[in-house]
Each structure stands twice: as structure tokens, then as C-alpha cells.
Amino acid sequence: MKNIAVIGAGTMGNGIAHVFAQNNFKVNLIDISEASLEKGITTITKNLDRLISKEKITEDVKTNTLANITTYSSIPNGVKNKDLVVEAATERTDLKLKIFKELDEICQENTILATNTSSISITKIAAVTNRPDKVIGMHFMNPVPIMKLVEIIRGYSTSNETTDAIMNLSLQLGKTPTEVNDYPGFVANRILMPMLNEAIETLYNGVAGVSEIDTVMKLGMAHPMGPLQLADFIGLDVCLSILNVLYDGFKNPKYAPCPLLVNMVMAGKLGVKSGEGFYDYSESKKAEKIAKQFS
């Protein structure tokens, strides 16, 4: 497998494309938005420059990586004659089902269809195709170029051949693939999201403030990032979506999203992506932070 297509040029999609391209795979990066494609390539370029500044890669590696990526704004054109298609679109069940139905109709018979979903059933996604044995979950962690784990999720009908191929492919990317079964949230988010939700509940109940909660978890539990900051980084809308998948899947009240999280998402306070969540990421705050460094 050397010819890859990645659908979605957002945070996860451009990260996945970056990793494949840096490891000498030919990658088609697909998004219906030209602006998203431009932003995705800009992000990849900045991340490569950051690796150069840290002496992790050379200028030649950057040049080759970017040369390995071709952008497309059309799925049919972008997935033609590909060995693997990795879907990294928004975490919405209806959208993913629509994409996989289309992919099944236009991709060649031996193409493996993978999804980067962090919580939605692989079996459900595979059921809209005529190749459920070739549908698999390939859940990368954010930031993709840095994080080593890839959660490999088998659907009910995913074949051993498909699973082995994706496990081996992940190793070629320098990742550590870990096989899990198809249950809501898989392993990563089944454990992570209730913890983030509990941190939000702790704030909601007035037990402590935002920085205090994060400080306790960073210094007391050796977490590299506090749970509220991490929720901002993931996106509060994404956290809410995953919690809803868990709650719908298990019907267990422990997965019910905190009312504060629901209200923040409705108010458009989504974290880093919107400029404000539990923390303020606005330009004025950034300027204030820089000013303090030189005061």
C-alpha cells in the first residue's frame, strides 16, 4: 500500500496526511473546501518547519513530504486507484455514513476503507458498504505527527487480512498500533471522556476553579495537560459529541454530558478553535501574555 487518500483537511486529516507523506507514501488530501485545503497545507508546512528547528528532520525531508501531497476538492477524483482511504471528516454519524456509502460505490474492490472516528461504531459504518470485511477503524491521536498510538478497531465483519494490513501499515508510519474491539468510545475515549466530563462537573459544582482543577491533575497526577485545557484542545463540541455516543450506546447515566458542557457548546465556546472555552485564546490575551514576558 503506497497510494493513500485522506478525506478531511482539518486538524486530524492534515496530521494524518503529513505522517503518511513524511514516510514516503503518495497522499491525496481531499476536502470540499478549498480554504480548508490551503489551511491544511499551511499547517503541515508549519509543523515541518517546527521539526526542522528542532533538528528532527532536514529541509530535504520537508520538500519531499510536501511533494508527496496532492490536494483535491472532489472525493471521486481524489480516491481513484487508491490502496487505502482514511476518512477524517467531522465526528458526525450521518456524514460518515454518507461518505462511506459513496466510497464503496466509487473505489476499486480491493481498496481498504478506514475511519479515524474516535467513538462511532465501525460495524455501523461498514454496514452501509458492500465490503464490510475491508472497513476498519484507524484512530490516530492528536497531534498526529507526534503521538505514537493508533487505535485499530475491528468491526464485526472486519477480516483478519484487513486488520493485519493496517497493523503493519501503522508500524511503517513509526506508530504503535493497538487492536481493540468495536464498542462505543473504544478504549481511549471510553476512559478519557468520562474523566474530562467529571472535571467539568467538578467546576460546575463549584468545588474548584478552572486553573485549580487543572493544577491538581497536572501536579498531583502527572498529567501533561489539565483535563479542562485538554477539553479545550480537543474541542468542546467534539467532547460533547463523543459523550453523546457513549451515552446513547451504553444508556448509562455516568456518560451523560455535564449541563455546563452542553451550554458552552450551544454558546459557541468550543475551546481553542473558537478562541474561548475554559480558557481565553483570543488575540488580545495572546498579546497580553507576550507583554508580560517582557515586562
Query: Across the chain, what does the average pLDDT equal?
Result: 95
DSSP 169-227: HHHHTT-EEEEEE-STTTTHHHHHHHHHHHHHHHHHTTSS-HHHHHHIIIIIH--SS-H
> Which of 36, 116, 119, 189 is the catalytic position?
189
Provide the pLDDT for residue 279. Answer: 97
Model pLDDT for residues 259-271, shown as the tens digit of each residue:
999 999 999 999 9
Question: Would you state the cell numbers that stand for residue 32, as one nine-digit string?
Answer: 470540499
Active site residue 36: no
Whether the pLDDT of residue 223 is over 80: the answer is yes
Active site residue 151: yes
Whether the pLDDT of residue 287 is over 60: the answer is no
> Which of 116, 151, 170, 197 is the catalytic position?
151
> Which of 139, 197, 274, 276 is the catalytic position?
139
Question: Would you state the cell numbers that stand for residue 124, as one nine-digit string?
Answer: 455501523
Active site residue 87: no
Question: What SS3 state is found at 122?
Answer: helix
Model pLDDT for residues 45-80, shown as the tens digit of each residue:
999 999 999 999 999 999 999 999 999 999 999 999
Percent of the chain predicted with pLDDT > 70: 96
Annotated binding site: 8-13, 31, 91, 96, 118, 142, 273
Active site residue 179: no
Domains in the chain, please, with CATH?
Answer: 3-181 (3.40.50.720), 189-290 (1.10.1040.10)
> Which of 28, 36, 118, 170 is the catalytic position?
118
Going by pLDDT thresholds of 50, 70 and 90, the confidence category of residue 201 is very high
Model pLDDT for residues 10-44, shown as the tens digit of each residue:
999 999 999 999 999 999 999 999 999 999 999 99
Model pLDDT for residues 83-131, shown as the tens digit of each residue:
999 999 998 999 999 999 999 999 999 999 999 999 999 999 999 999 9
Please state whether the predicted TM-score (pTM) of the whole model is above 0.85: yes
Annotated binding site for NAD(+): 8-13, 31, 91, 96, 118, 142, 273
Whether the pLDDT of residue 285 is over 80: the answer is no
Q: Which helix (H) or strand (E) holds 71?
A: strand 69-72
Going by pLDDT thresholds of 50, 70 and 90, the confidence category of residue 291 is very low
Angstrom distance (rounded) from CA 187 to CA 208: 28
